[in-house]
Chain A
Amino acid sequence: MSIFEYNGSALVAMVGKNCFAIASDRRLGVQLQTIATDFQKIYQIHDRLFLGLSGLGTDAQTLYQRLVFRHKLYQLREERDMKPETFASLVSALLYEKRFGPYFCQPVIAGLGDEDKPFICTMDSIGAKELAKDFVVAGTASESLYGACESMFKPDMEPEELFETVSQALLSSVDRDCLSGWGGHVYVVTPTEVKERILKGRMD
């Protein structure tokens, strides 16, 4: 069994009209056994930047702690928050540092950049960035997520419609994956506010 499939996860980020949504499932498992149904996989770095980490839970937690540390130092030195593009490069660099002993994580980065332009990207476990204009996916349910997002996505969706689309894509994909699910966690971010919602899906 792959180490990336040890804990189980599903992550998706989608771009809308001057907004973005980032969503994850809530399961923490150890292979076939479910340990918890409220495990956090999306972290807020600053009020316009979110990081989702799929893959091995321990590496996600370690990576998150290292990134928060680096971002806080950046804030002290630069006296401002990091731009999403810069943060993505930081994550990529941290991952490639461990090229021959990697963190078993696939990050999804979503943020609002200059002029409130939404930015999303994902990368593999050794930091190969994949920028997208529409959506990015990660985790054990990624193949289902690609299909669901491709069929449900429309450009320039308003926040409410974006929330519906992301939620439906996430829930339908995790229902086809035994290692992810037990609800959903969706953040919809506009220039003025962050809306966090919990989804109730099939609890199995």
Chain B
Amino acid sequence: MECVFGLVGNGFAVVVADTSAVHSILVHKPNEDKILLLDSHKLMGASGEPGDRIQFTEYIQKNMSLYQFRNGIPLTTAAAANFTRGELASALRKNPYHVNILLAGYDKETGPSLYYIDYIATLHKVDKAAFGYGSYFSLAMMDRHYHSGMSLEEAIDLVDKCITEIRSRLVVAPPNFVIKIVDKDGAREYAWRETVKDAPIPSA
């Protein structure tokens, strides 16, 4: 099952997701990136139905770019979160998207923020959040070790603790994770935590 979790630190927000693309018992690929860069200062980690996940997150990403082209300024994280919720809510009773989202962003005026948006469009601003079976372990670890204003080193240490817990306690634990952060310098990939690498393609 897909694990996505995130937390807010001192001047940054971090989102972590597993990278297994799974279909029933088969792992299609072990390095699927489930955290999309929405714009220069926003990350959207998504879990759920694979087709819906890619379709919906790309739809949000393109609409955000469109807003920026039309208006000359990017959306704030809160505005992006509310837009996302609005799209999920209007589709809910017609053709629902089965995607859970953690939206992290950095705004100059308000600093870092993290929004929890579940697949039925419940929106809430949080300091730490998680989706999936891994949430039972990562939320517990974060409840124990998280405090507001964590430094990057402390936060990554906590992320690693969560990943270790998921790997050791979840029966179908995903082997690989990607960590992305967003701070005043922008949204970027921070690190991968891999235990299983894709076999290299043999040369002809």
Contacts and interface: CB of A to CB of B under 8 A. Distances in A.
Contact of B122 (A7, A33, A101): A7
A89 interface: no
* Size bracket, chain B contacts: 10 to 19
Given A28-B122, A58-B120, A58-B122, A33 B92 contact: no
Nearest to A40: B124
Nearest to A32: B136
Interface in B118-176: 118, 120-124, 126, 129, 135-136, 139
Interface string B88-132: 010011000000000000000000000010101111101001000
A58 B89 contact: yes
A35 B93 contact: no
Chain B's interface: helix, strand, loop or mixed, by majority? Answer: mixed
Contact of A61 (B85, B93, B135, B136): B85
A39 interface: yes
Which of A33, A35, A56 has the most C-beta atoms of chain B within 10 angstroms of its own C-beta?
Answer: A35
A61 B92 CA distance: 13
A56 B122 CA distance: 9
B89 A39 contact: no
A204 to B, nearest CB: 12
A101 B123 CA distance: 21
B93 A101 contact: yes
A107 interface: no
A169 B179 CA distance: 45
Contacts of B118: 30, 58
B5 to A, nearest CB: 12
Contacts of B136: 33
B89 A62 contact: yes
A28 B116 CA distance: 11
Contacts of A101: 93
A33 B138 CA distance: 13
A184 interface: no
Given A58-B92, A61-B85, A62-B89, A35 B124 contact: yes
Interface of B: 85, 89, 92-93, 116, 118, 120-124, 126, 129, 135-136, 139
11 contacts: A7-B122, A28-B124, A33-B139, A35-B116, A35-B126, A36-B124, A36-B126, A57-B124, A61-B89, A62-B89, A62-B121
Given A33-B135, A35-B116, A57-B124, 14 more contacts: A30-B118, A35-B124, A36-B126, A56-B120, A57-B122, A58-B89, A58-B118, A58-B120, A58-B122, A58-B123, A61-B122, A61-B123, A62-B89, A62-B121
